[in-house]
Structures are given as C-alpha cells and as structure tokens.
C-alpha cells in the first residue's frame, strides 16, 4: 500500500501542529522545515480545514492550528479522507481490463490486506504520533517549550 504525497503532507502538517496545539504556525514555516512546496501545502491545509482538522487565523500574526485535540484526530480517518482512492489494482478502480477478473482471488486477498492496513491506522490518533515531542520538535527546529504544554479546550 502506498499513500499519496498529498496524504503524507497532510499527516506531516498535523504532526507539526500537534507538537504545539495551542500555537499558530504558518504554511511557510511548515514548508521550510519539511522542504516541501508552499503552494502544494496550501492545498493540503485547505482540505484539512474543510475536513475540520485545522483552523486558520487570518491577518497579521495569523496562521493555522489544530481545530481538535490531537487525541480526537484518528489517523485512519485522516488517511481515508485524504486519499483519492484505494485502488491498489485496476479492478479496485472499476477497470474491466483484467482477463482473469471473474475467477481471481487476488482481489479478495488485496481487499483484506487493505482492510487490515486501515484497521491498524484506525488504532492510532494524532496524539500517538507525537508521543516523542522532544525529538520530533528538534527535528522540526522547534524551540523547547517552557512549562506545561498548551492545551486547547473544545
């Protein structure tokens, strides 16, 4: 199973925001630390906002932050929302080009594998992905926080 770059970037944005859930981050900052296109990241952030994972604050000093607590964001759900399709093979995408499709068991095996993949992701939240905030923050060039973590109450 391979996830699209779009889904990869979505998860990276969420991880970055989860490290500082109450603070605003900019698309430019996130693009720089991950060395990815700011233009592409804008599209990703827009979709994350439409999905209710991210909220944006406009104006001077604005940016983006999580719209939910990290423990309320399920990784499997994010992947299902961001992936355009899970067509591992042509027959999953509705293509009728396979000569053995009517007698093939491979599709069933791949379908079960895909279901298992998603089930594992459903067992994780964004909070699980940031269990090691120190090392992650250092890699993303975040300054160590003073005192307790900032929490958003919704």
Rounded Cα–Cα distance for residues 86 and 114 (Å): 8
* pLDDT for 64: 96
Rounded Cα–Cα distance for residues 76 and 79 (Å): 5
8 A C-beta contact, residue 15 and residue 136? yes
Global pTM reads 0.83
Tell me if 146 is assigned to some domain.
Answer: no
CATH assignment of the domain containing 15: 1.10.10.10
8 A C-beta contact, residue 25 and residue 64? yes
pLDDT tens digits for range 90-134? 666 666 677 877 788 888 888 899 999 999 999 999 999 999 888
Please give the radius of gyration of the chain, using alpha carbons only, rounded to the nearest integer: 18
* Dihedral pair phi/psi, residue 130, rounded to 5°: -115, 35
Q: Give the position of tokens 């998603």.
A: 118
Domain of residue 102 covers 5-139
Tell me if 132 is assigned to some domain.
Answer: yes
Kindly state the helix (H) or strand (E) to which residue 27 belongs, with its residue range. Answer: helix 27-34
- How many domains are there within the chain? 1
Tell me if 55 is assigned to some domain.
Answer: yes
Q: How confident is the model at residue 145 (pLDDT cuts 50, 70, 90)?
A: low
What tokens does 9 get?
């970037």
pLDDT tens digits for range 15-47? 999 999 888 999 999 999 999 999 999 999 999
Q: What is the CB neighbour count within 10 angstroms for residue 142? A: 18
Tell me if 74 is assigned to some domain.
Answer: yes
Tell me if 40 is assigned to some domain.
Answer: yes
């Amino acid at each position: 199973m391979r996830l699209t770059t779009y889904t990869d970037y979505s998860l990276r944005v969420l991880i970055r925001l989860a490290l500082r859930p109450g603070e605003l981050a900019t698309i430019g900052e996130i693009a720089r630390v991950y060395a990815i296109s700011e233009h592409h990241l804008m599209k990703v952030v827009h979709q994350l906002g439409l999905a209710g994972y991210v909220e944006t604050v406009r104006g001077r000093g604005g940016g983006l932050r999580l719209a939910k607590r990290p423990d309320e964001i399920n990784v499997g759900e994010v992947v299902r929302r961001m992936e355009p399709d899970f067509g591992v093979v042509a027959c999953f995408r509705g293509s009728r080009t396979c000569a053995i499709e009517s007698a093939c068991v491979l599709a069933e095996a791949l379908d079960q594998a895909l279901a298992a993949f998603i089930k594992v992701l459903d067992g994780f939240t964004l909070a699980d992905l940031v269990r090691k905030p120190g090392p992650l923050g250092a890699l993303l060039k975040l300054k160590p926080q003073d005192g307790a973590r900032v929490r958003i109450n919704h």
